[in-house]
Structure formats: structure tokens, C-alpha cells
Amino acid sequence: MKTRVTELFGINYPIVLSGMSWISVPSMVAAVSNAGGLGILATGPLNASETRESIREIRRLTDRPFGANATLMFPGAHENARVLLEEKVPVINFSLGKGDWLAKGAHAYGGKVIATVVNERHARRAREQGADGLIVTGHEAAAHGGDATSLVLIPAVADAVDIPIIAAGGFIDGRGLIAALAMGAEGIAMGTGFMSTRESPLHSTYKNLSLEKTIDDTIYGPYFDGLGCRSMATPAAERAYRKGIMGMPNFLAAFVNSRDIAKSLGLPFYKLFLGVVASGWKNAKMLAYLANAFKMIRIATEDGDLKEGVLPVGQCQGLIHDIPTVAELIERIVSQASAIPARLEKAMEGD
């Protein structure tokens, strides 16, 4: 397959691994890249040293193009982003922040930069900041999708910018890939589909549970991590998504969890705490939600905890029927997509 996305990144298929914390680890990134797609490393849970070692591990596992992300509002994200530039990562994916400095730094060594956006305004802004492409995330997506569904968001953004678009949110098979191309995108990004592959480090408890869940078995709301977030519907998620007193997070739990986050990122706790306070009330409240959510996501992903864990998934979990290898999944998507144009052409011929 050939699109502007395959040409931009030098990959075989316009299929991208979303950067998911505790799932998009080096081995997973390499598996997707080796299968002809573009793997993206999730740096959110990593400190700068771990990010550097992860990049080097990916390079030991594959000689194919790969990427890494930086969610710029997260603690430690700017330090990680600077590591991505120092290590000359081929593709840098940024979100929730201003990425002009990343684009300038990456372009200096021939790297590419893609921004994750959820609306037209952010798409235009990312284009102005030097992004080479966009991951456009619709409402159906795991975690932080936009307010609009992919069916209307992708065409709207395609009309608004002239750079390649990668559609995210609801895409898991060849039908979705062809639909994304028809709407003006140049490829798809997948999280939910890839997390239920054999190579995925997601705990088997949740892999098996994903086979039982339908497209209706997700929960969406702003009171889990402070942003509009979609997760697998479980009793634990139902509790975690409830509105707290006056819409406030559990600050005591956030204080405890943020100490663990500071330790894992190699940051002095006082520095992290003062930085959060200085960021303003609105941002501090959201970061408190995030501190609590991080723990619940981690224990779901790594430990398979059903009592307290919460796993972000997209609505397309209902289209998961087996647990293939990464290569098998990509081959299946491409094969299915290749057969669709002939069927559409026949339908267009009419009688």
C-alpha cells in the first residue's frame, strides 16, 4: 500500500501503533515496525534515562522506522522529549502542548513530527507549529478521543489542513482502513487492536476479557483522569468514573500517588509538587485526577487487577474475536482492505 503516510515514514503499510503507557514498550514497538507498520514508544511512565535505554533497545530489535511520543503536559515529558531529539528518533509524536521546538529540533536531523489532535483548531495550530502529519482522534477511541466521532472529525480536519492525517478512534480492521482513506486520511492508528495481540504486554486477564466485551461495554467521562476518557466497562471503572464531591478528585490519594510518580520519574517530590501548584488550579486539579488514574491503569495493564484496575479501551473492542500476532493482525487488515475496492466498484456499477 502506498499513501502519503507510508512515503513520509518509509513504511510498508499505513498502520501505526498508538503510544499507550505500559503497552507500547520497546518489544511491541519493534514488532509493529518489523511487520511493516510504525511502532510508537510510550514515554509517559518513563524517566529520561529509561526513555533513552528504551530507544536504544528498539534499535537493537529493529532497523525499521519507529517513533516515540511525548505528552507535554505530563511531569517529566519535556525531559523525555529532549532525549528523543538527542537520540534522533525518526518520528516524534507530541500532544497536549506546544511542539514547535520539537519540530525544529527533529527537522534539523531529518526527523518527522506528528501531533495528536482532537479538533480542527488544534489541527491548524499543530500545522503552524511545523507538524509533518497529524493523528486525529475521534470520540470512539480509547482514553482521550475528541467530542466528535471519527466519521465527521476526519473529513473536517482533512478539509482544514494540507498535511497527512492518520485516523484514530474506531479503526481495527481492513474495513476501517478503507473507510479512513475514503474520508481523507492517509492511514490509521490503533491502540485497542494492538493491545490484544500475543506480543502485547497487556495482562492476559484483560486480553481474555476483551474477547467477551461488545462495542457497548465501555465507559466515558471526565472524572477518571480529568480529561474525557474512555475505558473498558467494569465494576472498578464504574466506581472510578463517579463524580467526586463537588467534582473534585481524591486529593489525598493523588498526593500519595504523585510521590510514587515522582520517584519513578526520578524527580524530587517537592519539585513535582511545586510545579503542579504553580501550573494553576485548573491544571493542578486535572493532574490530581491523572495521578490517581495512572495507578489504576498500571495495575490493570501489568497486574490484571480487576478489583481496582481500569483499562482504557476504544469502542472497537467489540470487534476483537481472537488474539493474533502483530504480523497476523497487520496482514489481515491489509488483505481485507485490498479486497474491498473490487466490491465497491461492483456496487457502483449498478444494474
| Same domain assignment for residues 149 and 102 | yes
- Spatial distance between the Cα atoms of 310 and 297, rounded to a whole number of angstroms: 5
Q: Which among 180, 16, 228 is positioned nearest to 112, based on CA atoms?
A: 16
Q: Does residue 116 sit within a domain?
A: yes
Q: Provide the domain count of the chain.
A: 2
Helix, strand, or coil (residue 328) = helix
Print pLDDT tens along the chain (351 aa): 899 999 999 999 999 999 999 999 999 999 999 999 999 999 999 999 999 999 999 999 999 999 999 998 877 889 999 999 999 999 999 998 999 999 999 999 999 999 999 999 999 999 999 999 999 999 999 999 989 999 999 999 999 999 999 999 999 999 999 999 999 999 999 999 999 999 999 999 999 999 999 999 999 998 888 788 999 999 999 999 988 765 766 666 665 556 666 566 666 654 555 555 556 656 656 567 677 788 999 999 999 999 999 999 999 999 999 999 999 999 999 999 999 998 888 888 865
| Same domain assignment for residues 139 and 222 | no
| Same domain assignment for residues 333 and 239 | no
pLDDT tens-place string over residues 38-66: 999 999 999 999 999 999 999 999 999 99
Q: Does residue 73 sit within a domain?
A: yes
Q: Does residue 31 sit within a domain?
A: yes
Distance of CA 106 to the CA centre of its chain: 20
* DSSP run (H or E) holding 220: strand 218-221
Q: Does residue 40 sit within a domain?
A: yes
State the CB neighbour count (10 A cutoff) for residue 156. Answer: 15
| Same domain assignment for residues 146 and 277 | no
| Same domain assignment for residues 147 and 26 | yes
pLDDT tens-place string over residues 263-300: 666 666 545 555 555 566 566 565 676 777 889 999 99
| Same domain assignment for residues 236 and 175 | no
Q: Does residue 99 sit within a domain?
A: yes
Helix, strand, or coil (residue 331) = helix
**What CATH code is carried by the domain that includes residue 143?**
3.20.20.70
Q: Does residue 207 sit within a domain?
A: no
| Same domain assignment for residues 192 and 222 | no
| Same domain assignment for residues 159 and 232 | no
| Same domain assignment for residues 246 and 338 | no
Q: What is the DSSP-derived secondary structure letter of residue 171?
A: -
pLDDT tens-place string over residues 291-317: 778 899 999 999 999 999 999 999 999
What are the Cα distances from residue 36, in Å, to 3, 12, 296? 13, 5, 32
Q: Does residue 309 sit within a domain?
A: no
Compute, in degrees rounded to 10, the torsion defined by CA atoms 337, 343, 345, 349. Answer: -170
* Residue numbers of the domain that contains 252: 214-303
| Same domain assignment for residues 162 and 17 | yes
Q: Does residue 294 sit within a domain?
A: yes
- Spatial distance between the Cα atoms of 285 and 289, rounded to a whole number of angstroms: 6
pTM of the model: 0.90
| Same domain assignment for residues 112 and 241 | no
| Same domain assignment for residues 236 and 104 | no
- Spatial distance between the Cα atoms of 264 and 256, rounded to a whole number of angstroms: 13
